[in-house]
Amino acid sequence: MQEVTRDCIVSLAAFAAIFGIAYVFFMTRHRERMTMLDRNLIENPFNRPTSRPDYGLLSLKYGMLLVGFGVGYFMGWILYNYYGVSHSVSIVSMVCLFGGMSLILNYIIVRKQGLNKE
């Protein structure tokens, strides 16, 4: 089989799989909602209470995440230049480590301040 034919078949199969999953999801959700409306189980499934996100908390979270990424990149660069660790391993591992640590620290800060809405 030629390379172009194989690539075309793989692309079509991937598209068909994604389309099939989305179709089944949306059709099942539609049928469920129509059944609930027919049986008067809820008055309207589309009227959900809207809660506005607290943009101060979001900016704190994303700011800490980006600072964690920056510190992680810097630490990965240090590992690569001074300790001889592989470039890709040092950068990716430190970015993930410090990014995750910044999210954990953000969770602790928000929980201690009592700012979360949970």
**Cα dist from 79 to 31, 57, 85, 111, whole Å:** 55, 32, 6, 33
Residues of the chain with confidence (pLDDT) below 50: none
Whole-number pLDDT of residue 91: 94
Instruction: Name the DSSP letter for residue 48.
Output: P
Whole-number pLDDT of residue 83: 92
Contact predicate 88/73, CB 8 Å: no
Per-domain residue ranges for the chain? Answer: 1-50, 55-113
Whole-number pLDDT of residue 16: 95
Task: Give pTM, 2 decimals.
Answer: 0.55
Whole-number pLDDT of residue 10: 92
Q: Tens digit of pLDDT for each residue in 49-61? A: 666 667 778 889 9
